Structure 1
Amino acid sequence: MSHEQSRQVLLARRPEGWPEHDDFEPVTRDLPELGEGEVRVANEFVSVDPYMRGKMDDRESYTPPYALGEPLTGAAVGRVVASRHPELSEGTLVLHQQGWRDAAQGRGEEFRAVPEVPDVPTSAYLGVLGGTGLTAYVGLLDIARMQPGETVFVSAAAGAVGSVVGQIARVKGAGRVVGSAGSPEKVRTLTERYGFDAGFDHHDGPAADRLAEVAPDGVDVYFDNVGGEQLEAAIGALNRYGRVACCGAISAYNATEPPLGPRNLGRVVTHSLTLRGFIVSDHLDRQPDFLEEMGPWLREGRVRAEETVVDGVEHLVDAFLVLLRGANTGKMVVRVG
């Protein structure tokens, strides 16, 4: 393949509620000749993530929204196939933010060379070795300040970030690790594959009741990927001086009306609780420490890099839509080809 063209996905219109196929437009565009200092990259894997839903709305957030009629962006990993940059030769594996396409091109500074880890797929740089893993690491250890012996509750625990949070908690000596997931099969995955002590299906009844069953002595740390009812349940279960790392609010991403906030915020005062949100890009200084620890954990099998892989750039939209419905286990990636 010459890679002189790029198959891309544009945002055709802003979704109202749950996104649909008609909100997106696949196109093929010719790539211009390389300029001085530029590279062209054939993507191998492209990431789809829940946060991308928020960027499809025209509202203020921590990053600008996607522009209508322009290609969507996100993390991708691929190889340089043409280069006019002195430090990025052909064949170099790079990580970058020009996802939602099969070929990317731009200034060399937009692409970061990464080493190839033996026996680890390159897609790991979109998951456990990338922003997903760093989010779990920073949120659990820096934001929530988990200590050995504590009880940790993780929502969306079978997802990309949540599955890594639970495994890091176990490695770092948590006394008990529990999680919520969206099906009985995923709950079994938590305990059989990721080392959680227990889990519950959030469809099985009030989250507060289910959480009390799996964490009868309360919770010290809650890693929140969901918000809504599960955040309220966690606040109700937190022990004195409990901490919450607020990472996401999946339950509200497709809401057409503002969701009601937790009704028990008075416990934040009476139990001296801490709720703190974070954006992983504010903590990139922790990446060297993260990689120094995560590399050996992966090689030793103490952390498993779980992925759901969808084949073909033509199925990017499909992968994103089923991701929002919770159809993935671990990190959702699209293999370009």
Structure 2
Amino acid sequence: MTDLPATQREVRLLAKPAGLPGPEHLGVVETPVGAPARGEVLVRNLFFHVFATLRILIAGATQDTPFPVLRPGDTLVGAAVGEIVEAPEDSGFVPGDLVSHWLGWREYAVVPVAECVRLDPAALPDPAAHLQQGWTAYAALTRGATLRPGDTVFVSAGGSGIGSMAGLIARRLGAGRVIASAGSREKAERLRTEIGYDDVVVRGEGRLVEQLATAAPEGIDVFFDNVGGEQLAAAVAAARPGARFVLIGALSGQLAAEGTGTTAPVVLDSLPLIHKRIEMRGFSSDDFDDKDEWTERFGAWLRAGEISFPHVRVKGIENAPRTLLEVIEGRHIGAVVVEL
């Protein structure tokens, strides 16, 4: 480790917030660079993902989720891409290998070998693109909703990291019309011009049921739901017979100003569900193990210029706490990654 710095920086939870986190709850601290023990590798992180639902971990609530509870003094966690610096001979890794793992929010990470995934540097033209959530969107649209050519697709939170990918993928899979929801007129216009949505409904600009009826006068066939709440109810009203709903997230509750974000209540009229024979399912891409199919297809689309990777790249770990607060507020379009 003679060529390594003696210290590295990481982002820690300083105090548990009563509601949404603020600047006073997060801090960047300096710590020694760790040495890997048997069964571990040392990784120099290159990028890590900043995602809004980290709020649930910060609140200390992980009901029905596989994520750890974060307590004051803990380092934040999240998907990261880095390169191996040190690895034991029997680890299967060598220095320089590109890997993904879950110990982001720090410049150097000591990671169990079993929790590192080797990445093919040639698979995607940009290493940061491995942090996109396209696999979840692709699996939901192909395995969950079984999108068909000509379908009208509605994507709630269409500017989020996963929502923006869902909009782009739906178009590549042959959707006839793709509609999004957004939190402001300015963001709605950006979604039209940057992502290519046919129309965007705006929260707070009138009843969503009426906006969606105007945007999709013949109804929707597929609903890719990141939000729940009022948007889920509006989608039920707009659904065509046999519509397929995939529920990916519940941001209406997960990012609520009060509470821990573990509930997302919504009132639905169940009669349209029955009469229209709407199929509705909670969805997780973890149920499918063919992610290589997506990576190969995404890489080919990127190289051919047929799809983009919507993202915001923020340089420097010192800017990560502020960036997390901006993501929770919904300021950005696409995935948000910190470059180290």
- Taking structure 2 as the reference length, the TM-score comes to 0.91
Gaps of 5+ in 1: none
Answer whether contact 1:17 1:254 (CA < 8 A) is retained.
no
Name the structure 1 match of 2:247.
246
Q: What is the aligned residue count?
A: 331
Q: 1:60-115 deviations in whole A, cap 9, x for unaligned? A: 22214423122121100111222224432222111111011111112322222212
Task: Give yes or no for the alignment of 1:116 onto 2:121.
Answer: yes
Name which of 95, 98, 102 aligns with 1:93.
98
Matches within 5 A, 1:52-201: 52-59=54-61, 60-68=63-71, 69-86=73-90, 87-117=92-122, 120-127=125-132, 132-201=133-202
Which amino acid is the alignment partner of residue 195 of structure 1? G
Answer whether contact 1:85 1:108 (CA < 8 A) is retained.
no
Answer whether contact 1:151 1:176 (CA < 8 A) is retained.
yes
Separation in structure 2 between the aligned mates of residue 110 and residue 65 of structure 1, nearest angstrom: 15
Separation in structure 1 between the aligned mates of residue 244 and residue 5 of structure 2, nearest angstrom: 49
Separation in structure 2 between the aligned mates of residue 119 and residue 126 of structure 1, nearest angstrom: 11
Which amino acid is the alignment partner of residue 306 of structure 1? P
Which amino acid is the alignment partner of residue 18 of structure 2? E
Separation in structure 2 between the aligned mates of residue 158 and residue 107 of structure 1, nearest angstrom: 34
Give secondary structure in 2 for the equivalent of 1:6: strand
Name the structure 2 match of 1:328.
332
- Percent identity of the aligned residues? 34
Separation in structure 1 between the aligned mates of residue 204 and residue 153 of structure 2, nearest angstrom: 20
Task: Give yes or no for the alignment of 1:300 onto 2:304.
Answer: yes
Name which of 30, 37, 40 aligns with 1:38.
40
Name which of 24, 28, 46 aligns with 1:26.
28
Answer whether contact 2:125 2:299 (CA < 8 A) is retained.
no
Separation in structure 2 between the aligned mates of residue 312 and residue 153 of structure 1, nearest angstrom: 35
- Cα 1:260–1:94 shift into 2, 3 Å: closer
- Cα 1:170–1:64 shift into 2, 3 Å: closer
Once structures 1 and 2 are overlaid, which stretch shifts more, 113-122 or 287-296? 113-122
Separation in structure 1 between the aligned mates of residue 174 and residue 20 of structure 2, nearest angstrom: 39
Note the C-alpha offset of 1:259.
Answer: 5.1
- Cα 1:43–1:32 shift into 2, 3 Å: closer
Which amino acid is the alignment partner of residue 220 of structure 1? D
Answer whether contact 1:57 1:65 (CA < 8 A) is retained.
no
Separation in structure 1 between the aligned mates of residue 191 and residue 27 of structure 2, nearest angstrom: 36
Answer whether contact 2:254 2:264 (CA < 8 A) is retained.
no
Separation in structure 2 between the aligned mates of residue 18 and residue 35 of structure 1, nearest angstrom: 37
Q: 1:233-260 deviations in whole A, cap 9, x for unaligned? A: 1111011111111011112123326654
Separation in structure 2 between the aligned mates of residue 300 and residue 195 of structure 1, nearest angstrom: 17
Which amino acid is the alignment partner of residue 240 of structure 1? P
Gaps of 5+ in 2: none
Give secondary structure in 1 for the equivalent of 2:195: coil
Answer whether contact 1:5 1:103 (CA < 8 A) is retained.
no
Query: Larger relative CO (CA 8 A, sep 6+): 1 or 2?
Result: 2
Separation in structure 1 between the aligned mates of residue 14 and residue 66 of structure 2, nearest angstrom: 19
Which amino acid is the alignment partner of residue 206 of structure 1? R
- Cα 1:220–1:103 shift into 2, 3 Å: same
Name the structure 2 match of 1:223.
224
